[in-house]
Amino acid sequence: MPRLFNLINNDELKQRMLQSDEKRTTLSFYRYHHIDQPEQFRDELYRQWSKLSVFGRVYLATEGINGQISVPDAQFEAFKEALFAIPWLNGVRLNIAVDDDGKSFYKLKIKVRHKIVADGLDDKTFDVTKRGKHLRAEEVNDLMDRPGTLVVDMRNHYESEVGYFEGAIRPDVETFREALPLVEDMLAEDKNKNIIMYCTGGIRCEKASAYYLHKGFQNVFMVDGGIIEYTRQCQEQQLPNKFLGKNFVFDERMGEKIGDTVVSRCHQCGEPCDTHVNCANDACHILFLQCEACAEQYHHCCSQQCSDFVQLPEEERESLRGQVVFNGTKFGKGRYKAFRQSGGSL
């Protein structure tokens, strides 16, 4: 029987993944469904998927499942067969990554949480399964072209900074739970307008659409399958793709190219750039945008302070750890903008 946890060091697992020539496919999926015993379901999935060498991050809750994983190509059909054998997951959409080298995950983690998408809500009358209408890519483009249609990005600010739909409302938030009340206030006078919501793969805007319908909004729509599925349909059907820039993803890739347009800038020098990285100073580790030239200049760090720190002897770094304040200590995820703070204008 497979163990229900990993015993190998994370760094070693990551190196194994990077050095492997095994072809893998990155995908995501979700479904809202009432699960009576998520802990038991977690154990069953872990045993089953470990045998298939599935890697990734999966969240379970009494409200459903949310997974971002990679599967060996040689095991892909066996994985689909096993997944679809679960009655309530039979036929669930698998959002295949748009820009993928198979190096997205290096181990399997399946966690039980209170909710698969943290929303901060404590409303027993809110039913997440009563959602807005799904729109296919062609329908998205058609409705976006109609006067008065509002498009709302339900992702976090560091996601929408590198890519977004034309003319979209992009809330300045770090979490989904922040976005729900903020967007409700922003659209308080627009409850009868056509409102299209979107996110990476659909899971956040599906819950958001159900919430806003619950709050009295009349015409709430969502991009079916999110940015990933929209892009796939545009490619297959040769439709105009109204998404500009890069789609941020929560795995080792940090993002996948949708088109050639770069809509964001390096946080250090202000040159066009859409490459998210974490500061190489582990005591900081802040998420930010950095071009290749600044990566070389600052040793892959977010500031000169962090660059100087990582070049100190290990013993000295350890003695200073916890005593020095870095950007990652002071700012929230993706909040630090060196270029803006130095007087530049993005």
Per-residue model confidence (pLDDT) at position 12? 67
b/e per residue 208-221 (b: at least 16 CB within 10 A): bbbbbbbbebebbb
Site of tokens 């045993």: 47
Mean pLDDT of 188-200: 94
Q: How many helices (H) and strands (E) does the chain have?
A: 13, 14
Tell me: pLDDT of 325 over 60: yes
| 15, two tokens | 């190196």
Confidence tier at 18 by pLDDT (50, 70, 90): low
CA–CA gap between residue 189 and residue 169 (Å, rounded): 15
The confidence band for 19, taking pLDDT boundaries of 50, 70 and 90, is: low
Query: In terms of pLDDT, which residue wins out, 103 or 131?
Result: 131
Active site amino acids:
199
Q: What is the pTM of this model?
A: 0.77
Residue 249 to residue 225: CA distance in whole angstroms: 14
Q: Partners of 223 in the beta sheet?
A: 135
Which whole number is the average pLDDT over 140-157? Answer: 96
